[in-house]
Amino acid sequence: MIAGVLAGCASDDASAPDGAPGEASAVTPGALTVEAAWARPGGAGGMSALYARVGNGTTSPDTLQAVSAEVARTVEIHESYENDDGTRGMRPLGPIPVPTGEQIALAPGGKHVMLIRLRRALQPNDSLAVDFQFAQAGTRSMTVPVRLQPPQ
């Protein structure tokens, strides 16, 4: 009923998550990197999503196994998906492989890290401590800003 009148969806490639494959993905030779991480605002007791670009410039394949953040009671790796009827949802996703020479985008509308049951509210310009746990590279700890919009 609605599908026939949808408009404005096809202009530019806004359907791809920001920073999704297709962009020239430069990995840093010899390094596994987590870049441009940011998180959405959320209320205390509520939810947030966390995004980043993970690049594997090493010679060994790696896997993002888990993410932890003290600000949330539960943290899950998620993906958003689209059903045949155009509805969209999200579900837990297992560990994410990060092959050699590739960049994996955790970006709005695609793969993301869910911060579930926030212990405190996250407002724009706040920051939070996050650990990314990799099978090979170990733990990458960082401080991540809270933003309304992706960093440019």
Partner 1 sequence: MRKPPMPRVLSLIAAVLLAAGLIGCQQPNVVDDLSDTSFQLVDTDSTAVAFPQDVAGDIVVLGYIYTNCPDVCPMTTANMKQAHQQLGAPDDVQFVTVTFDPLRDTPSVMQRYSETWEAADSDWMFLTGDTSTVNRMMRRIGIRHQVTDTTTTEDGEQIFFISHSDLVTLIDEDGRIRQHYSGSRTPPEILVEDVNKLRNGSTIR
Q: Which amino acid, residue 135?
A: A
20 makes contact, choosing from partner 1, Cu ion, none, with CB < 5 to 8 Å by partner type, with: none
Interface with Cu ion (CB under 5 A): 78, 90, 114
Number of residues that bind partner 1 (CB under 8 A): 46
We find the least distance from the C-beta atom of residue 39 to partner 1, in angstroms, to be 9
Instruction: State the binding string over 45-84 for partner 1 (x if CB under 8 A, else -).
Output: -xxxx-----------------------xx-x-x-x-xx-
Does 43 contact partner 1 by CB under 8 A?
yes
DSSP structure class, residue 130: E
Which CB atom, from 26 or from 148, has the smaller least distance to partner 1? 148
Backbone angles phi, psi at 3, to 5 degrees: -55, -35
Does 120 contact partner 1 by CB under 8 A?
no
Q: Which amino acid, residue 81?
A: Y
Which CB atom, from 57 or from 80, has the smaller least distance to partner 1? 80
- Which residue reads 């026939």 in tokens? 4
We find the least distance from the C-beta atom of residue 23 to partner 1, in angstroms, to be 18
Cβ count within 10 A of residue 141: 11
Say how many Å lie between the first and final Cα of the chain, rounded.
37
